[in-house]
Amino acid sequence: MKQSREGLLLVVSGPAGVGKGSIDGILLERHRNMRLSVSATTRSPRPGEIDGVHYFFIDEERFRQMIAENAFLEYMQVFNMHYYGTPRAYVEQELRAGHDVLLEIDVQGAMRVKESYPDAVLVFVAPPSMSALKERLIGRNTETPEQIEKRFATAYQEVRCMNRYDYIVVNDVLDVAVRRMEHIINAEKCRASRNQAIINEFAGGKDEI
Ligand code: 5GP
């Protein structure tokens, strides 16, 4: 009898600069069964970002067309300017194939996913402190000071929503944070509700206790 092989839908959120990308990158390297959902966005690529790898960079017209086609699992307008959305087809196809699927999306998006997929596991990556987060954002050197201020203000709103998640992982030391994620994934795979096949197998046994 095998432990659950059902694909796990893992939703990871956290403020910009908290290190979600680094954690997810290591998880994807270590777990061959895991897939990253690439979101679509109308924002411009940052230096080094590749279309189809970090995001599908599309224009607003195409984004609106995809909304009309119900092609998003969830979508959101972030910072009152750009759209971000999770293409539905890829996620559903990979889950059906038994792969774990990782979504790196914002708080509102995570809540929407939980509504349509109650089995999804929501993890919030928290910084060790708000001052540590600010240092990381400045050190990243990819945004203007105004953008950093804006992101930091958003970060304050985001951390206030962490109580709505299933798990909180503090990213103090990267390796430790990755291990915490792995423990969550392993525990979720052992959840009774995800192991109906085992339950059925033993329920069919004739032996009395
Ligand atoms: P960034 O512009 O830094 O790549 O992302 C900005 C925010 O948008 C982050 O909080 C990120 O998690 C979120 N985000 C990225 N893709 C999606 C998506 O498909 N849906 C939603 N709701 N948020 C997303």
Percent of the chain with pLDDT over 90: 80
Q: Tell me the per-residue pLDDT of 70-97, one tens digit each, with 9 for 90 and over.
A: 999 999 997 678 999 999 999 999 999 9
Q: What residues contact 88, with CB distance under 8 A and at least 6 apart?
A: 70, 71, 72, 73
Check whether 69 has a pLDDT greater than 70. Answer: yes
Q: From the CB of 91, is ligand 1 less than 6 Å away?
A: no
Tokens of 189: 């795979």
Tokens 């979101």 belong to 39
172 Cα to the center of ligand 1, angstroms: 22
Helical residues (DSSP H) of 8-144, grouped into ranges = 20-30, 60-68, 88-96, 107-116, 130-140
Measuring from atom 19 of ligand 1, which residue has the nearest CA?
A: 85
Atom of ligand 1 nearest to the CA of 110: 22
Global confidence as pTM:
0.91
Over residues 100-115, mean pLDDT:
96
Percent of the chain with pLDDT over 70: 96
- Dihedral (CA of 23, 106, 101, 61) sign: negative
Measuring from atom 10 of ligand 1, which residue has the nearest CA?
A: 106
Check whether 158 has a pLDDT greater than 70. Answer: yes
Q: Tell me the per-residue pLDDT of 128-144, one tens digit each, with 9 for 90 and over.
A: 999 999 888 888 777 88
What is the per-residue pLDDT for 100?
Answer: 97
